[in-house]
Every structure is written in C-alpha cells, then in structure tokens.
Amino acid sequence: MLKALIWDVDGTLAETERDGHLVAFNQAFAAQGLAWRWSVEHYGVLLRVTGGYERLLLDMSNRADAPPEGAEREALARQLHQAKNRLYAEIVEGGAFPLRPGVARLIDEARHAGIKQAIATTTSRMNVETLLRARLGRGWADAFPVVIAGEDVSRKKPDPQAYRLAVQALGVAPHEAIAIEDSAMGCRSACDAGVPVVITRSVYFAADHVAGAIWIGRDLDTDDDGAPVTLATLQGWHERTTAARVPIS
C-alpha cells in the first residue's frame, strides 16, 4: 500500500535550475566583481555534480583565473554560494517561475488523503523553505513534516542517504513510498534506498537515460493516455510495481 510521497525539489517541483539557481549564480558572480558567467548549456554540464557549492568548486578547477586549490578557493566558493542562495530567494519571492504542472494538485490530494509527504533534496534548506513558502503559502510545512536537505547528509545524491533518512523520519518502509524525481542521479538515489521512483522530466534532463523508474513522463499533468496524474494514478503504478516484486510461491 502506498503510504508516502517523497518529493525532490530542483527540476521536480519547479524549473528552479534554469530559471532560479543559474540566474542567481550569474548575479552572484557580477556582485562579486567577477567576469564569470555560466551559459544555460554550461550549467547543464555542471549539473552532473549535485550541490551548488560543489558545482562552484568544479567550475573553478577548470578556470585559470580562479584562486588556487585549497582554503582560498573554498572560501570564495562558500561566499559565492551564500550570495547565490540569497539572490535565489529574491528571484523565487519575485514570482519568476511557477510550480510545474500537476505538482500543487498532487500535493494537495495526498495531503487530504492522509498520505505522508517529505522532501528529499540536495539543495540547501533555506532554498526549500523559500520555494515552498512562496508557492504553497505559510502552511506548507503542514504538508511536509519531513524535509531532508543538503545540510542533513554527508553524501549528496546519487547516494541513497537522503532517501534513507526520509523514509526513516516518515516511519514507512522504502517500498511503501514513491519518490518523485526529475533526474537519473535522483532516480539512482531513491532506487538504491529501495524507494520506487516516478520521473517527471525537467528541461535539463529531458533526454537523460534513466534506469529503474516505475514511470517516466514529461510532467505530472497527464499520464501516457492524456489523463490527469492523480493520487489514484500513483497508487495504481505503485501497486503494479510492488505486486510484481512479490515472489510467487
């Protein structure tokens, strides 16, 4: 039986990467007096590394004008990352982008049906809170009693730690939940924790090869037959998957 939904944030709830984090990174570079600018394409390459701080370090490792590897580089990355998150909050609060199709409806439906919900993300906690408060209103935390964010794990996705912590905090078995993700790395994280995964493809991972998901779609608005993806749809996919795993004696 489906008891919980565990939501990824970036790319899944909204197109936060292209329309939020990328814009904010470039604003942070400008505010710091740096001539660095990341294009939409370059950011797509950097997204292979999860975590904004880690992404900054990766980019700096390929720049001749970055501080040398070590304490100075790390301090600059930390400073830029904090500035980026402040600027990201301004962009989100300015209403620049909406939740993706079907997301608000499913969150609401699950909430009213008593299905537990959690967040499992590599992004920073303040980014989650800002986005959910801005898009769902002050009562957002009633729908999400469990939030596992980047600061809560020692190993970010694709490591399964975030999903392991989420199911533990929800008090459900991994197979009693569904993870909703947009990327192959997120899918691997949930799958390795034993949580069945539904993929709603985001702009950056539209053509990614994703292994192990129970459903892969363009968004959560409609299923393969053009019908709305409802809680009942998720329950049907979940039942089919878990039934298939029961050994026939």
Q: What are the start-end ranges of the E strands in 35-150?
A: 116-120, 146-148
- Helix then strand then coil, in percent of the chain rounded to 5, is 50, 10, 40
- Write out the two tokens for 89: 């909050």
Contact residue for ligand XBP among 127, 161, 200, 233 (CB under 6 A): 127
Which residue carries 């570079």 as its tokens? 29
Does position 121 interact with ligand XBP (CB under 6 A)? The reply is: yes
Residue nearest to ligand XBP as judged by C-beta position: 52
Q: Tell me whether residue 152 is one of the annotated catalytic residues.
A: no
Separation of alpha carbons 157 and 45, rounded Å: 16
Contact between 21 and ligand XBP by CB under 6 A: the answer reads yes
8 included as an active-site residue: yes
Are 124 and 142 within 8 A, CB to CB?
no
- Dump the DSSP string for 137-169: -TTHHHH-SEEE-GGG-SS-TTSTHHHHHHHHH
- Of 47-55, 100-108, 140-148, 166-174, the segment contacting ligand XBP by CB under 6 A is 47-55
Using CB under 5 A as the binding rule, whether residue 15 contacts Mg ion is answered as no
Rounded Cα distance between 120 and 161, Å, is 9
**Binding of residue 17 to Mg ion (CB under 5 A):** no
Residue 8 or 59 with smaller CB distance to ligand XBP: 8
Distance CA 199, CA 14 (A): 13
Tell me how many residues contact ligand XBP (CB under 6 A): 19
Q: How far is it, in rounded angstroms, from Cα 149 to Cα 154? A: 11
* Residue 196 binding result from ligand XBP, Mg ion, none, given CB thresholds of 5 to 8 Å by partner type: none
Per DSSP bridges, beta strands 197-200 and 177-181 are parallel
**CA gap 188, 163 in Å, rounded:** 10
Select 216 or 235, whichever has its Cβ closest to ligand XBP.
216
Residue 17 contact partner, candidates ligand XBP, Mg ion, none, CB within 5 to 8 A by sort of partner? ligand XBP
Out of 26, 117, 123, 161, point to the residue binding ligand XBP (CB under 6 A): 123
- Which of 2, 6, 10, 163 is in the footprint of ligand XBP by CB under 6 A? 10
Contact set with ligand XBP (CB under 6 A): 8-11, 17, 21, 50-52, 81, 85, 121-124, 127, 150, 157, 186
Mind telling me the catalytic residues?
A: 8, 10
Contact set with Mg ion (CB under 5 A): 8, 10-11, 182-183, 186
